[in-house]
Structure 1
Amino acid sequence: MRRRTFLAAAPAVAAAATLRPAALSAAEPRPAFQPAGDEIFTRSDVRGGDRPVGASFASRSAVYGRSGAAGTSQPLATLAGIEILKKGGSAVDAAIAINACLGFLEPTACGIGGDVYAMLWDPAAKTVVGMAGSGRSPRGLSLETVRSRAKGGALPAYGALSVSVPGAVDGWWTLHQRYGQLKWAELFEPAIAYAEGGVPVPDIISHYMRRAMANFLKPGMGIEETANAVKTFGKGPRAGEIFRNPDLARTYRMIAQGGRDAYYEGPIAKTVDAYFKRIGGWIDRADLAAHRSEWSQPFATNYRGVDVHALAANTQGIATLQMLNMIEQFDMRGAGFQSAQSIHLQIEAKRLAYEDRARYYADPDFADVPNAWLVSKDYAEARARLIDPQRINPSVRPGQAPSKGDTTYFTVADASGMMISMIQSNFRGMGSGLVADGLGFMFQDRGQLFSLKDGHPNLYAPGKRPFQTIIPGFATKDGAPWLSFGVMGGDMQPQGQTQIIVNRVDYGLDVQAAGDSPRWHHEGSSQAMGEDSPGMGPLGLLRLESGVPDATRQALIDRGWTLGESDGGFGRYQCVEHRMSGAERVYAAASEMRADGLALAY
């Protein structure tokens, strides 16, 4: 659809809101997350070139193929996944190979020191299947010890206290045992070759690696030792500089030859056990040996004819469903694309859903989480009545349940119709800062998300899974797969997933433009949870990307929203869409302009 046609199809208020002043100050400050020297390229009166078709703000077209598709945040990982598919591998095989590659190529976001979740379309069973590969806290670490070492009433962000058992490798093994087509060892060949031979590091990954390493090395960070991290990553490579990780290549060879047992019971487990004993940590061989991933039945809600699926377990997945259920009560098409009304309604739904997120979400093995009630339409209708389309609700609280209790995303599709939506993370800033002797990967700091509040369902306990922010996304139509998608990035993930669905369903944007559309990110709530920032006041802080129209921005300020600077925290999106061309299957794949990534199809 041409830009003129798109605006003409939207309400007049929305069309007016897309117009920008003819001249804006070239002296406006650059976004805080961009490096000095880029001011000349971040003027708010400069926009991208004109596309002859589609939304004017789209960065590029979707890519199309019949046999397979993949989208990741690093082009070499995407290429590896396509090559696995061409060798006869399944979408699961390709996803494992991609994830192994990204553990080397994008260590700022993921690695085998972290956890993994997946949803996939099983073409044989004709259903969406979920898998949770989330590790537990050390069984030898008591609540009393955690509290004695807490900082400001919370677990520290880095160091051994924040480390939970990594679930990624067992998650890969679990998926491969059911859905793999190639031999396990073949899946690690691309990652080993990259790690041994070295690759030039792209701009965004370089930026975050250097920032993370500088952070780890600050005085007073509480990390037991950083020499291994420095040996592995140095200060972080500069953009275009070749990076190698021979230690990780050796670790991958052990996993390729010995399977998941090499990691959880064999030589890798032995090294991990010795390392944590040496630095005074708590993860041991018994914790690793006890770990198992689990198959998980996703929840789903219907949003205007589209079934959107989400994992519950210990994740924030159902927050997406809660938000969509509330938003469905309003005429979003009539509100207008990128209008203040549209964004206001979405933020208010977010605030209400995140109050429940802070109150109820936790490991269901330790808490009676009322998931079915939280995602019900009746509850959503009641919550939606708290949303005033014209005014901010000054005080939102969690609902009263009936009595009875940093990340990488990628997606792959294959010729059989299998589609996998997969997300994997070390959590904040590359992870805990800890790298075991000679293994070449960093351990996650996911345990930092436990609560220390008595009575809270996410209260720390030994052998418990912490609250998880990482969530894959999946949507179906009429019992068939439609979208395998995700928006990585902490508490942004349900907000980003919701914006993708609204852009596709309500505003009719294609698979690429839906991700390129300017995003909003709301931070803060009355009850902090996960990455929510405290001390922001009852209304929190609203961040808007620079592409949000000036008229919309001003209208949101007029409604009372406090706007923060654009900080780069708007998530990173990948998607594969399943569609039919007559009787033949076609995949349309999209990637993210906010990352270094690439989508390919063939």
Structure 2
Amino acid sequence: MRDFQAPGRSAVFATEGMCATSHPLAAKVALDLLQQGGNAVDAAIGAGVLLGLCEPQMTGLGGDCFMLLKPAGSERIVTVNGSGCAPAGADAGALRARGLDAVPVYGVESVTLPGAVDAFCQVSADWGRLGLADTLAPAIRYAEIGVPVAPRVAYDWAEPTHLQGAARRHYLNGNVPLRSGQIFRAPSQAEVLRRIAREGRAGFYEGEVAQDLIDSLREMGGCHTLDDLAATTCTYGDPIHSAYRNLDLFEHAPNGTGAVASLILNILQHFDMASLDPLGPERAHLEAEATKLAYDARNRFIADPDHTTRLAHLLAPETAAQLASLIDPTRVLPDVAPLTEAIHRDTVYITVVDRDRMAVSLIYSIFHSFGSGLASDKFGILFQNRGAGFTLTKGHPNEMAGGKRPMHTIIPAMLGENGRITMPFGVMGGAYQPVGHARLVTNLRDHGMELQSAIDAPRAFVENGTLALETGYPIATAQALTDLGHQVILSPGPRGGAQAIRIHADGVLEGASDPRKDGCALGC
């Protein structure tokens, strides 16, 4: 039980429906849609699209999404891959010929086609109840009247210096970032949403909106075409499954990096994690070393689904056993070179469970803060820079090529136990996400933390030769890790943000939301 004399928040309990996400207006809209007769799909899409206005630095209609969906009355999970491809004209060889060894993070070369809108339209038609007109109505209204900028959003908004051209006009206030409490309006996006509500995917991937997207990209030197945009389609599939101490973990298959979370947990199963201090150096060291090994595997294997050929090897028990044997409690492994220079922490996540226990785990992103820093001229749609997730290494499975999906950091997940799906969840934070999944699972299973406490607990992440610790770690832990050989630093900012809904066996829903964000869990 939490200490009610200390800062913190309680978990939220309800029976009829629940949403947990990173902005309270989105959580409220999700409940409103449920109470209007919609289901978890309607609520997740309606609130998710609104997050693109509440947190425009994190996501928007120019981005991608992944989804895990548990239908009502079933314990199976359907995955939705709403990630777009590189344009047909993308060519790693041409970039290498220019002397580049990585895709420019904020250049038009990094812009991949937006996949989320197609996924929202398809999933709404296949699984929703309300239809797009009702589902998108709240987001259309807020795009017109505006959304007050929340404190965490203002913190992020102040950082980017890469906004260019139309993006500066649409997302700055007189060339200055918006501050907490100021109103952000996007009437041009309201018009785009009205067209999607009326025409479905054609309202975005055809006609004036599509022309604005492609004309803007071509003007900036892009090779994108209307045919590239029209070819963008989501795909359904099955999750990948792994087990951790009698918990079932379901992750999205590549091109997402859910398999990396599974691999980290498979490695950690070889150690007595429950015996370790949750904030002690031994646990932080083991997690850091498992992360290095798993991310090395990510860098070599994860790619477009048609190019990922070693997934079974990545998830095999013997692979985890071999990697675990490389970890020495008294020695630090060399750091893993990043696959690209694409370091970021910008994503939104939403989970919804309805009265029929349909559950949705949805993650939606434009990659870096404000994506590529580029936007369409007329409608102000931010272009994602997911192409920075490609490598330019010749022959690599994740080498940039036309019509190919890049390796993605965003990963929605669900937990299950004894044949029953028990918890949709996600942990935002760029490359941190697989570690965040593993840490949340070990907090719950090994350390017996309550759900909100498991989310609140301090986080650590090893990247770029450093081990970053959030505030909350004891000084003694930092010193012991330094003595061991880690280059310990204070985390430069909050590490990600998590949302989760636990579906208890008696039917009660328990929601938890990360205080690192502005959001909350709400139930009805």
Range into which the TM-score falls when normalised by the shorter chain? over 0.9
* Alignment map for 1:398-437 (pairs within 5 Å): 406-437=346-377
Query: For the residues of structure 2 that align with 1:89 and 1:445, how far apart are their CA atoms?
Result: 33
Shift of 1:104: 0.9
Q: Find the aligned partners of 1:127 and 1:517 in 2 and give their Cα distance.
A: 31
State the alpha-carbon separation in 2 of the partners of residues 136 and 227 from structure 1: 23
Paired with 1:395 and 1:410, the residues of 2 have a C-alpha distance of 32
Please tell me whether the aligned partners of residues 246 and 440 of structure 1 are also in contact (alpha carbons under 8 angstroms).
Answer: no
Question: Match for 2:10 among 32, 53, 61?
Answer: 61
Residue 51 (str. 1) matches residue 23 (str. 2): no
Counterpart amino acid of 2:137? E
> Which residues of 2 match residues 298-309 of structure 1 at below 5 A?
298-309=239-250
Residue identity opposite 1:493 in structure 2: Q
C-alpha distance after superposition, 1:137-186 (max 9, x if no partner)? 011233333334564x1111113111000001011112112210112111
**SS of corresponding position for 1:428:** coil
How many angstroms apart in 2 are the aligned matches of 1:233 and 1:492?
A: 28
Matched residue SS, 2:430? coil
Q: Which amino acid aligns with 1:123?
A: A
Which residue identity does 1:578 align to in structure 2? I
Distance 1:413 1:113 in 2: 26
Q: What is the identity percentage for the equivalent residue pairs of Structure 1 and Structure 2?
A: 40
Residue number in structure 2 paired with 1:229? 168
Q: How big is the shift at 1:390?
A: 3.2
Q: Does 1:574 align with 2:499?
A: yes
Of the three residues 413, 417, 421, the one matched with 1:473 is 413
| Aligned equivalent of 2:341 | none
Query: Which of 75, 83, 90 is the matching residue for 1:126?
Result: 75
Distance 2:244 2:304 in 1: 27
Q: 2:253 & 2:170 partners in 1: Cα distance?
A: 38
Aligned to 1:599: 521
Looking at structure 1, the residues matched to 17 and 172 of structure 2 have their Cα atoms a distance apart, in angstroms, of: 34
Between the aligned partners of 1:355 and 1:410, the Cα distance in structure 2 is 29
Look up the match of 1:489: 429
User: 1:221-277 CA distances to partner (integer Å, 9 max, x unpaired)?
Assistant: xxxx51343234333211111121111111111111110121112331122222223
Distance 1:348 1:113, change over 3 A: same
- How far 1:395 moved relative to its partner? 7.6
Q: Please name the residue that 2:451 is paired with.
A: 511
Normalising to structure 2: TM-score of the pair? 0.95
Alignment map for 1:542-557 (pairs within 5 Å) = 542-557=467-482
Superposition deviation, residue 397 in structure 1 = 10
Q: CA deviation at 1:510?
A: 1.1
Contact 1:248/1:441 (8 A) holds in 2: yes
Q: Which runs of 5+ in 1 are unaligned?
A: 3-49, 218-224, 399-405, 525-539
1:324-350 deviations in Å (ceiling 9; x for gaps): 001011111112221111111111111
Structure 2: gaps (5+ residues)? 339-345
Matched, 1:101 2:50: yes
Matched AA of 1:198: G
What aligned pairs does 1:89-238 form with structure 2 within 5 A after superposition? 89-149=38-98, 151=100, 153-212=101-160, 215-216=161-162, 226-234=165-173, 235-238=176-179
- 1:517-536 equivalent positions in 2, closer than 5 A: 517-524=457-464
Q: What TM-score do the two structures reach when normalised by structure 1?
A: 0.83
Q: Offset at 1:368? A: 4.1
The structure with more radius of gyration: 1
Report the Cα distance in structure 2 between the residues aligned to 1:248 and 1:411, rounded to whole angstroms.
24
Partner of 1:254: 195
Instruction: Name the amino acid aligned to 1:414.
Output: D
Counterpart residue number, 2:253? 312
Inter-partner Cα distance in structure 2 for 1:141 and 1:286: 14
SS at match of 1:117: strand
1:451 aligns with 2:391: yes
The Cα RMSD (Å) is 1.8
Contact 1:492/1:569 (8 A) holds in 2: no
Deviations 1:278-326 (A, max 9, x none): 3322222100111110012111111001001111221111100000001
Asked whether the equivalents of residues 71 and 598 of structure 1 are also in contact (C-alpha less than 8 Å), the reply is: yes
Partner residue of 1:590 out of 497, 508, 512: 512
